[in-house]
Structure 1
């Protein structure tokens, strides 16, 4: 979500990132891969629970040498544990010996590679070559791999996703050799080719929205889903006959993904947003059914946890007994400590119970959670414009009476929750010099300030903890909350199939998980999240990801620099909502 300054035109529709409109001018491989030899790797046992045994592929007699895989699976190397089909190039290092621990690997972005200036054109030639050879590819991501906590050790690797079960060894071998030759003929050697099974998917009246103040709110982790802080979870209202009376704001719009405003199958509908009897208003609510139920369940879960803790603390107090005049200072301090813990737990339980009651009464019906309506929907398309980026955005006009505008914080992203302030600072500002001048955003609210330009994506000015060029980014999404990732330094290509036919091909900007222990950067349900760098500059809007059906290895983002131009076609005076003091 993000906010823009826009000249409002009531005849045009819109989507979620906060925007400000001036007054109208008129009423109109965990299972790490161990390779025995070189040239090619094939995984012959499927599934993350496969037995860690060695399997020789029957095609081992071919001229290319095969890698044998031990400790099958990939959970610790890539978040999705996707089936690794094939990799060209030299064998990656392994530890040997009966008690040798396997090497944990993680994907990294590549910046400053000689191929970077021509990759956009060359990458398109790569995927057209794969098409000619019948490879049903789903994604192409230029990256490298590193041992966890160290610098990258692999050369540039074209990490190519393929439709699960579609790529046989012989075709993988031939395709890798053809792509290698294409890249070599273009003047670049040492680039490796890897295939993995992967799919690309989109990350899919009443009370006022609450203000968000983590400093004063003792249960902010539970109230946040009901606030307009970026990371707000929204959904379309599935009540087409409801006609509310909420007045639209003069100037604040939300930007979101089109497939969030109009989920399948409605997202295929290119119809404009016209308020007629045949085309009723398309209302947007805070929290869909699953999000609302999840919020209630999280409160009840916390109450149960506090109840069990209180029982443990009460047992200790019973064992300590009543205060005695001659008891030790240690006993007295321990009693006071557990009395305070029990009192705090009881107080927090009461606060959560009260809030749960209010939410159950005031926010229960979807109509109670309406916050605005779609005022612009851009039909979903692929390879739009000279950049050939996907088109997937919409704008939502907010209802005036749903927000406490005097407390409205505008474009701020809550970066707390999953990460402590110390952990966030250590990751995003890894050097001693940087941390000297670093201050954690007040109350964990990172203010959106500007836009990351393409040159800063290709050649970031920051270094990671290993001293490598890196554009570290953060987002807060419905499913995964606050996560940190690494932006890729070159464009990715994605392909979606429908009923065995090509549905769309797009150029995307990818984001990887920060590391092997952090989990994926995003998951299904995070679409529409705004991705920022550590300074609050916008990389773009999260639209989907590549991986298995359950987990994502690479997250895809549409750059905001591109979205801003697209929005200005309809709202030429738009701009980001100004920073709130």
Structure 2
């Protein structure tokens, strides 16, 4: 719940309490977060006229004691610490950083020689401009003391500014019967075959998801099958796409711009249609009942039909307001 995916790593010196200047992340990463405070070993910048900061990537944590207590207990205790000290966080992740380091003989050139895996890090994202380095320092000390209670001592704490954008939208509607008053509006928003999809990079280009495939291997996940041109433009090479956690994701969206506009217009048109139908039925019933002595059998039958139309229109309008 509080560990959404993030895509970057930091490379800045440890900041002492009260130290406010901010440090940007390395330039080779996609999100380029700004560091507020970090614990751990002191960092030294690479030396030499052409030295560059080594690139880093985010990697998951598996065989570590923190994984056994984080989701059930420890993670929520960290959240409580943040709330008590009014740290307005956006994300809290347990991660490692893998970096390309250089040997002492190649420090001047900055040429990478081997990879190094960082200690496990509690990586805290906070809203930009709302948390100071001093506040982050104080909270980090409390979290380190909390880790000692769980007999965990080899974990660093890092605070950086970030904004969390959720890639999950509202759930789709369940399929409805053909007699349902909202069938024409709800049908495009149900997980039936032929869902209209697009991408975040190309929302004006859209297509359909043909069918569902079970991922297999005991997983409950479903995969969607679609044509390549729906997800990739003509400017992209026709090669296999392989997702990498440290690279920008290619997000698939439900509904493109055109399909979304069509659904909005269709919904508004349906509401307008049934509103006018209900009003016409009311006026008809009211007009036909002015002189009760002249009401014939044919008129009564007509009133019954109009009454049924009114009931149907009101039923649909009531469904729209739910």
Q: TM-score, normalised by structure 1?
A: 0.32
Q: Answer yes or no: is the 8 Å Cα contact 1:88–1:193 preserved in 2.
A: yes
Which of 520, 524, 528 is the equivalent residue of 2:248? 520
1:147 equivalent to 2:99? Answer yes
Deviation track 1:520-552 (CA, whole Å, cap 9, x = no partner) reads 2344x4589xxxxxxxxxxxxxxxxxxxxxxxx
- CA-atom RMSD, angstroms? 4.1
Instruction: Identify the structure with the greater strand proportion.
Output: 1
1:125-524 equivalent positions in 2, closer than 5 A: 125-148=77-100, 150-203=114-167, 258-259=170-171, 261=172, 276-277=180-181, 280-284=184-188, 285-287=195-197, 293-294=204-205, 411=213, 448-451=215-218, 478=231, 482-485=241-244, 512-513=245-246, 519-523=247-251
CA–CA separation in structure 2 for the residues paired with 1:483 and 1:104: 20
CA–CA separation in structure 2 for the residues paired with 1:273 and 1:165: 47
Following superposition, the deviation at residue 278 of structure 1 comes to 5.4
Gaps of 5+ in 1: 1-28, 43-58, 61-65, 205-256, 263-270, 296-368, 372-402, 413-447, 454-475, 486-511, 514-518, 529-581
Q: Answer yes or no: is the 8 Å Cα contact 1:41–1:68 preserved in 2.
A: no
Instruction: Indicate the larger mover: 85-94 or 284-293.
Output: 284-293
Following superposition, the deviation at residue 134 of structure 1 comes to 0.5
Q: TM-score, normalised by structure 2?
A: 0.54
Q: Answer yes or no: is the 8 Å Cα contact 2:12–2:25 preserved in 1.
A: no
Q: Cα 1:449–1:189, aligned 2, differ >3 Å: closer, same or farther?
A: same
CA–CA separation in structure 1 for the residues paired with 2:199 and 2:119: 46
CA–CA separation in structure 1 for the residues paired with 2:89 and 2:153: 23
The secondary structure found in structure 2 opposite 1:194 is strand
Deviation track 1:334-392 (CA, whole Å, cap 9, x = no partner) reads xxxxxxxxxxxxxxxxxxxxxxxxxxxxxxxxxxx788xxxxxxxxxxxxxxxxxxxxx
Following superposition, the deviation at residue 102 of structure 1 comes to 2.1
Q: Report how many residues are paired.
A: 214
Following superposition, the deviation at residue 177 of structure 1 comes to 1.0
Deviation track 1:195-244 (CA, whole Å, cap 9, x = no partner) reads 1222222326xxxxxxxxxxxxxxxxxxxxxxxxxxxxxxxxxxxxxxxx
> Based on CA coordinates, which of the two structures has the bigger radius of gyration?
2
Q: Answer yes or no: is the 8 Å Cα contact 2:9–2:97 preserved in 1.
A: no
CA–CA separation in structure 1 for the residues paired with 2:232 and 2:48: 41
The secondary structure found in structure 1 opposite 2:165 is strand
Q: Answer yes or no: is the 8 Å Cα contact 2:198–2:205 preserved in 1.
A: no
Following superposition, the deviation at residue 179 of structure 1 comes to 0.9
Per chain length, whose mean CA-contact separation is higher, i.e. which structure has more relative contact order (CA < 8 Å, sep 6+)?
1
Q: Answer yes or no: is the 8 Å Cα contact 2:16–2:137 preserved in 1.
A: no
The secondary structure found in structure 1 opposite 2:147 is helix
Q: Answer yes or no: is the 8 Å Cα contact 2:61–2:95 preserved in 1.
A: yes
CA–CA separation in structure 2 for the residues paired with 1:273 and 1:86: 53
The secondary structure found in structure 2 opposite 1:124 is helix
CA–CA separation in structure 2 for the residues paired with 1:84 and 1:527: 34
Q: Cα 1:32–1:176, aligned 2, differ >3 Å: closer, same or farther?
A: closer
